[in-house]
A and B are shown apart, each in its own frame.
Chain A
């Protein structure tokens, strides 16, 4: 995509504000369907561009990357300044009700540019919960422009915002903002005057929030939370699987599909590919929906609770000391945890990490030894029934691989040790509506991103199997698969399919007659094996081809090395 163009058939509207304030939610609500992601040429900065309808006219809306100020110290700030220099027709400045002071400073800097501006104060609902009150009229007076309160995630206030935006765009006399020179002192002063204490803050919640942050009893709390998360993800996932999804799919959906296919399509290659041994309408549907999705749902439920309650940064503080030994800072806890869900948001969230070295380390750690939820779900399906010992072994191996990779990389890669600076927000009760929305969005993404590639992958496997090409492939890879890894020849299939989706390196093993050791070897190889194509694409985009290539090499060689070593050592003992 090209630079924001100055084709002024359409007025240009910039959405500006600090990071993590809910700007993208506002953007999504305003812009509807036609949205594209673009990269600002010459930088690693992305912005989103879309269109917004205002009283019948269409305007171009750009979500400018989050910045704290316009001081041109970081790439994002430089891009923001350059975008502002294009003289947009309107600037929508999004403020954070919870961090008003820093947002006011940015607003003062923007107002000085004398562009038509509208100010939005987001997350006002959270402000009320912390016991403070915002005098919007006074703020409007101080700044000299319209100020609109919103709760972006529920959509409240957005209609009014659109109306004011349309009014400001319309030609006519304009409000002149007060000429306040931007300075921290000015921001503090305005902040002091518009915010007031309303009532007592929930003391109980504050004390818990504090306790979770101190070494004692913070560590106890952390262990309790992590155990609860783990237990609920596995427990809830299993329950969903066994009681709801598996029966639904195996006894309801699949037989219906099979009957239909058997009626319509004569026996032969096509039918076998559809509903045979590796049928993409049988296995291809059962695997993602019945075996993997229950764990995806339970994981994202737990993750959304952790995020929305504000516990995540506290987790980062507890782990910071430990992470420092690995050359990371506590802020890496977010991408690492996300990685246990899916590698794509994890690698994208490494952008928030302070240094280049830090970003690369975490991206490699996630690609190498953090199994995404799809793969973990597959592991649990594969191992839990047969050999719990193997499951625990793989889990421990994954954790120690992450730590080892961290320690090794922090020595090898040039660059500084990150300096931890993390803000710890208030501990809040998670809001059911927000959790519901997040869960819905993430499940939608999963279904969209997973089902098709799995079906495609399984179709490929089916074709290979039915045409006999699979046996030929097995012959080719025999020295590796049978000789080194000591697995049956069919195990060449997951190695091939794993490139599409990570769980496909595990799930085919379900059908093969494997003993516990072979299951372990297969799982270990699957754990370290290459990331799926989607993650590779993200790696190329966020970093470069060289880095993605390095990841490929490291993951493949570790996978085969570890697998073979375990196979051979295991053979001695078992």
Chain B
């Protein structure tokens, strides 16, 4: 009986607090200066540590489940040059988040999706973030883990201290035994990184970076040729020939923050440096990039 009452009280209390937090986030989303101050206080440290742990490079794609109306994680990740897909189950939050991100100037780098985190597939992402307040967090995290690519990472947040009365804690051992995991601690929260692979592979990843066969287009030396391995989603890229598998050469770079001029199979395109940074190229061509097609003639 007492336990039931406890659970009830917790439920009511939880609803109250989450309503309060949502209200603050809505206000912060609308009044950007307020939102950013809120972000600086509660998220800056946390995000810095998480980003360090995950070690991604510009152009990598990440998904954030439970972004809310004030998507500070998505904002920070986009500012670091990543391609973000931000997901929330609340339509109003998605709308507000989109508006906020456009105001902050990262609208192009973040795709918003209205969906339930429990149903999201993770295989196309280099990393996935799961927020503190996500409902049924354990199921969501387990589901995402099972869909992760080898070498991809997952970061989820557990409450600490007072917050643990409000939000559930999920131990990494309970869902990801055998995977390499790491924990970082910040104000009121702890961030848990799960790496889809063994510890050796995780440590190798960071050292492999320097010998990576994939570089960004911006790093390519002038007049050297490479093949495009990944591009961000921009509707005008495919018609211009900026697609996976295409041969690309950097012709010249313009000073003072000017564009790069590249040659894609005979066509010359000028690209902003920011964009060039997000296009990944490699020296070799993979066979799966070159598809075959068949013509079926009408009888």
Q: Which residues from chain A sit less than 8 Å from chain B, CB to CB?
A: 18, 68-69, 71, 73-74, 99, 101-102, 105, 142, 144, 176-181, 183-186, 189, 210, 213-215, 313, 316-318, 320-322, 324-325, 329-330, 414-424
Inter-chain contacts of A322 with B (CB < 8 A)? 256
Inter-chain contacts of A423 with B (CB < 8 A)? 240, 267-270
From the candidates B239, B269, B275, B298, name the one contacting A424 in the complex (CB within 8 A): B269
Query: In whole Å, how far is B233's beta carbon from the nearest beta carbon of chain A?
Result: 9
Query: In whole Å, how far is B74's beta carbon from the nearest beta carbon of chain A?
Result: 14
Interface positions, chain B 89-143, Cβ under 8 Å from A, are: 102-103, 105-108
From the candidates B261, B270, B290, B298, name the one contacting A179 in the complex (CB within 8 A): B298
Residue of A nearest to B296 (CB): A179
B292 at the interface (CB under 8 A from A): yes
Q: Which residues from chain B sit less than 8 Å from chain A, CB to CB?
A: 102-103, 105-108, 234-241, 243, 251-259, 261, 267-272, 274-275, 290-293, 295-298
Query: In whole Å, how far is A133's beta carbon from the nearest beta carbon of chain B?
Result: 15
Inter-chain contacts of B255 with A (CB < 8 A)? 215, 321
Q: Is B254 within 8 A of A178, CB to CB?
A: no
Q: Known contacts A18-B239, A215-B252, A317-B258; can you find 18 more A-B pairs with CB under 8 A?
A: A68-B239, A105-B238, A176-B298, A178-B295, A179-B298, A180-B296, A184-B238, A186-B293, A213-B252, A213-B261, A214-B251, A316-B270, A317-B270, A329-B272, A330-B259, A415-B105, A417-B105, A419-B274
Query: In whole Å, how far is A209's beta carbon from the nearest beta carbon of chain B?
Result: 8
* Chain B residues touching A, majority SS: loop
A58 to B239, CA, bound (A): 35
Query: In whole Å, how far is B254's beta carbon from the nearest beta carbon of chain A?
Result: 5
Inter-chain contacts of A313 with B (CB < 8 A)? 270
Q: Is B102 within 8 A of A416, CB to CB?
A: yes
Inter-chain contacts of B237 with A (CB < 8 A)? 421
Residue of B nearest to A77 (CB): B235
Inter-chain contacts of B238 with A (CB < 8 A)? 68-69, 102, 105, 184
Given known pairs A73-B235, A144-B298, the reply for A180 and B293 (CB within 8 Å) is: yes
Inter-chain contacts of A144 with B (CB < 8 A)? 298
Q: Is B235 within 8 A of A177, CB to CB?
A: no
Inter-chain contacts of B234 with A (CB < 8 A)? 419, 421
Q: Is B275 within 8 A of A421, CB to CB?
A: yes
9 smallest beta-carbon distances between A and B, as pairs: A321-B258, A102-B239, A321-B256, A68-B239, A420-B272, A416-B105, A176-B298, A185-B291, A424-B268
Given known pairs A102-B240, A213-B251, the reply for A422 and B269 (CB within 8 Å) is: yes
Given known pairs A177-B298, A186-B293, A189-B293, the reply for A68 and B235 (CB within 8 Å) is: yes
Q: Is B270 within 8 A of A101, CB to CB?
A: no
From the candidates B105, B254, B296, name the one contacting A321 in the complex (CB within 8 A): B254
From the candidates A142, A417, A422, name the one contacting B270 in the complex (CB within 8 A): A422
Q: Is A105 within 8 A of B298, CB to CB?
A: no
Q: Is A74 within 8 A of B235, CB to CB?
A: yes
Q: Is A415 within 8 A of B239, CB to CB?
A: no
Inter-chain contacts of B298 with A (CB < 8 A)? 144, 176-179
Given known pairs A183-B293, A215-B254, the reply for A105 and B269 (CB within 8 Å) is: no
Q: Is B261 within 8 A of A424, CB to CB?
A: yes
Q: Is B240 within 8 A of A416, CB to CB?
A: no
A104 to B264, CA, bound (A): 17
Q: Is B261 within 8 A of A321, CB to CB?
A: no
Residue of B nearest to A416 (CB): B105
A176 to B297, CA, bound (A): 9
Q: Is B295 within 8 A of A142, CB to CB?
A: yes
Inter-chain contacts of A325 with B (CB < 8 A)? 256-257
A210 to B240, CA, bound (A): 18
Query: In whole Å, how far is B115's beta carbon from the nearest beta carbon of chain A?
Result: 19
Inter-chain contacts of B295 with A (CB < 8 A)? 142, 178, 180
A18 to B29, CA, bound (A): 38
A415 to B108, CA, bound (A): 10
Inter-chain contacts of B296 with A (CB < 8 A)? 178-180
A420 to B259, CA, bound (A): 7
Inter-chain contacts of A318 with B (CB < 8 A)? 254, 258
A423 to B242, CA, bound (A): 11
From the candidates B251, B274, B290, name the one contacting A210 in the complex (CB within 8 A): B251
Query: In whole Å, how far is A135's beta carbon from the nearest beta carbon of chain B?
Result: 16
A186 to B293, CA, bound (A): 6
Query: In whole Å, how far is A104's beta carbon from the nearest beta carbon of chain B?
Result: 11
